[in-house]
Amino acid sequence: MLLQLECNININQIKLKINSMKITKVLLAILFTTNLSFAQKLKGSDTVLPLAQKEAESFMKSNKNSRVVVTGGGSGVGISALVDGTTDVAMSSRKIKMTEKMKLQDAGKASKESIVAYDALTVIVHPSNKVTQLKREQLEGIFTGKIKNWKEVGGDDLQIVVYSRESSSGTYEFFKEHVMKNKNYAANVLSMPASGAIVQSISQTKGAIGYVGLAYLENNTKAIKVSYDGGKTFVAPSVETAKNKTYPIVRPLYYYYLPSSEKMIKPFLDFCLSAEGQKIVEQTGYVPLPK
Amino acid sequence: MNFKISKIKEKIIESLLFISGAVTSVTVVFIVLFLFSEGLGVFMKKPIEEGSVIAINKNNIVNEISAEQIKNIYDQKIVSWKEIGGDNDNDTIILFRIEDITNYYSEAEIGENFERLPLCIDKLIDSIPGIIAFFPEKYLAKNFKGKKIELENINGYQFFSGNEWFPTAQPAAQMGVKPLILGTLWVSLIAIILALPLGLSAAIYLSEIANEKLRNILKPLIELLAGIPSVVYGFFGLVVIVPLIQKVFEIPVGETGLAGSIILGIMALPTIITISEDAMRNTPRSMKEASLALGASKWQTIYKVIIPHSISGITAGAILGIGRAIGETMAVLMVTGNAAVIPHTILEPVRTIPATIAAELGEAPEGGLHFKALFALGCILFLITLFINLLVEYISSRNKYATK
């Protein structure tokens, strides 16, 4: 949004100058077109969006004559834009799907994949909840609707209210694959349009449980320690535990691009993977790549 | 000369007006055609991801498995073949997905570029009698020894009567829109039941009782309600109304149909008030004065003369209010909880059609089954609002006839 605005203002300024000083017209036109030819478009996942935006901003600061335009819309939107050729990079919070790969193939294209950061998913509950840790099997039971009351997992006699993201979100898919071993969510799971809404709802519902990215963790909800080895070790989510791989629910965030445009987007991609870019990853609340 | 120029001018203006009209009509027709051509495509699709196959052992006597059964098998709700018509031998169902292949074969056996994968899958399905396998079609061996399960195309009956909405379920998507349609109608109906008495009273007050000064303050305020962005209503609902409902009714979760209805009711108020107030103020002065002159009180005049006279305007306002409520997306998405279950009371979470489209379209692969199903939902919504508009048309035309 901000970037687009900035761009618009620039264009307007240029237009003004053209009107007032005809001599500089040609010069400015050249400047304008060169600016355009460097514009790289990123589109896709709303999870990756804040990270990509920050990275684009600092990239443009150090590379004055390049432009990076970042827009959201969702992982699916990004990848279909890549197929249509309306974006250079598709940001995605899930792996590219079989059907999407086949679409690219039909269009005579192949895609290259680059992992730019990791995101740790935290399971959160209402702060007053007595339960502090859960096994993966228990989480599966809760989200598939087999476990319905908190007392079954060591809490109070209270109905469990399950919050999830919308079925379209990459977070939903990842949680299903990774925590629920590909079983489907129960039909009565509440789905919320955004991670912020999940945090808000859980903070005001006593029996609530849900999952959000690590970046959304605040004091009004409580993070649950998770065990993937049948209850031997429970690990609390944090950037540190995600980095040293003791915390199990971690997912990669991807950039997809065409091999043909690799040369053009290489500088930006290298910046994202550099030490400076990875520092931004940590600042935005995501987990940097292992060195 | 002057006459000629003015005539040409008139012609130009006329043609400009014609072009604007034509462009608008063509756009509307184009949008509707596009909507239906995409939406009807859902009935030409199978509920399985394109390019994937489901296969079982050739000795298995089961020949047909429905999409719903496949989902239940993979959710481990159906665990034995007997439940879906198999025989007693090899009773347990063994699930297989492509990523499980490494449990059976080493990477060396599969080959670096998966070149021996089709053969491995073929051997595996042949060797385990109770297996059901889901894998990409390109790994299907040439002389495949197993039995492929063909799923039927989605049909209209399944689409409208199905109780489960799992559009992204793997391997078989569930496309039942009944909970969504019922949710939409349920929320809108309660919204209008809440909003109508309030809106009507406000309209009567504004048109008949309030003095000019108060009216000049109140009316713009009410119209301002229509100008508040819907996401603001949604946020207000999530933070204020949802906890309130949770406390008042002492239910475990506040995101319910009722929360949506209250928000939609508030959003429908300006429409109801403005239209019915206009209708009431259009009551001829002579009629009102005649009633008062006959000795009727102010209230008697209102409910014996003014309301009957403006009843079609009031109905139109109410129906347009419903129309606004049915199509509303963002506010509902935030407060109703969006669980796709058939609601039995208004104190349960519901999922509406517009909320479903808004939440899911962004990530649905273009042209796929999910994408088309969302367009089909759009068609249903379009037909509902079309019906409502026709109803308004009918009611207002009836009134013209009555006053003649």
pLDDT tens digits for range B63-100: 888 888 888 888 888 888 888 877 766 678 888 888 78
Least confident of A142-151, B228-237, B282-291, B391-400: B391-400
Query: Which token pair is B5?
Result: 């120029």
Verify whether the Cβ–Cβ distance A158 to B252 is below 8 Å: yes
Distance from the Cα of A158 to chain B's closest Cα (Å) equals 8
Please report the pLDDT score of residue B202 as a whole number.
93
Interface of A with B (CB under 8 A): 73-77, 79-80, 83, 97-100, 102-103, 144, 158-159, 161, 166-170, 172-173, 182-185, 187-193, 197, 200-201, 204-208
| pTM, entire model | 0.78
Q: Per-residue confidence of chain A (291 residues) as pLDDT tens digits?
A: 444 444 444 444 444 444 444 544 544 444 444 444 457 899 988 888 889 999 999 999 888 888 889 988 778 888 888 988 889 999 998 888 777 787 788 788 888 899 999 988 999 999 999 999 999 999 999 999 999 999 999 889 999 999 998 876 778 888 998 899 888 899 889 988 878 888 989 998 899 999 998 888 888 999 999 999 888 899 999 888 988 889 999 989 999 999 888 888 888 999 999 999 999 998 888 889 887
Contacts of A169 in chain B (CB under 8 A): 363
b/e A212-223 (16+ beta carbons within 10 angstroms → b) = bbbbbbeeebbb
B39-49 confidence digits (pLDDT tens): 998 888 888 87
Cα distances (angstroms) measured from residue B369 to each of B321, B328, B397: 33, 25, 42
B250-277 confidence digits (pLDDT tens): 888 889 999 999 999 999 999 999 999 9
Distance of CA A273 to the CA centre of its chain: 16
Q: With an 8 Å Cβ cutoff, is B109 touching chain A?
A: no
Distance from the Cα of B180 to chain A's closest Cα (Å) equals 12
Cα nearest neighbour of B240 on chain A? A204
Distance from the Cα of A65 to chain B's closest Cα (Å) equals 32
Scanning B349-368 for CB atoms below 8 A from A yields: 349, 351, 355, 358-368
Q: What mean pLDDT is reported for chain B?
A: 87
Percent of chain A with pLDDT over 90: 36
Please report the pLDDT score of residue B383 as a whole number.
93
Please report the pLDDT score of residue A22 as a whole number.
52
- Collapsing DSSP to helix, strand or coil, A205 comes out as coil
Please report the pLDDT score of residue B327 as a whole number.
85
Contacts of B243 in chain A (CB under 8 A): 204
Q: Does residue B158 register a pLDDT over 50? A: yes
Average pLDDT over residues B373-393: 90
Name the burial class of residue A8, with classes exposed (0-12), middle (13-18) and buried (19+) by CB atoms within 10 angstroms of its CB. Answer: exposed
Q: Which helix (H) or strand (E) holds A49?
A: helix A49-62
Q: With an 8 Å Cβ cutoff, is B242 touching chain A?
A: yes
Please report the pLDDT score of residue B128 as a whole number.
85
Rounded Cα gap, residues B369 and B365, in angstroms: 8
Please report the pLDDT score of residue A221 as a whole number.
92
Verify whether the Cβ–Cβ distance B51 to A99 is below 8 Å: yes
B343-378 confidence digits (pLDDT tens): 888 898 999 999 999 888 876 777 888 889 999 999
Distance of CA B319 to the CA centre of its chain: 18
Distance from the Cα of B47 to chain A's closest Cα (Å) equals 14
Q: Where are the alpha helices (DSSP H) in B41-168?
A: 67-74, 101-104, 107-110, 117-127, 156-161
Contacts of A75 in chain B (CB under 8 A): 363
Average pLDDT over residues B237-251: 91
Cα nearest neighbour of B49 on chain A? A99
Residue B47: CB atoms within 10 Å: 25
> Which residue in B95, B363, B372 has the most chain A C-beta atoms within 10 A of its own C-beta, making it the best mutation to test that interface?
B363
Please report the pLDDT score of residue B30 as a whole number.
95
Verify whether the Cβ–Cβ distance A187 to B337 is below 8 Å: no
Select from B50, B166, B363 the Cβ nearest to the Cβ of A76: B363
Please report the pLDDT score of residue A40 as a whole number.
86
Please report the pLDDT score of residue A26 as a whole number.
47
Rounded Cα gap, residues A147 and A151, in angstroms: 9
Quickly state the pLDDT bin for B399 (edges 50, 70, 90): low
Give pairs for B299-304: CB < 8 Å, separation 24+: B302/B204, B302/B208
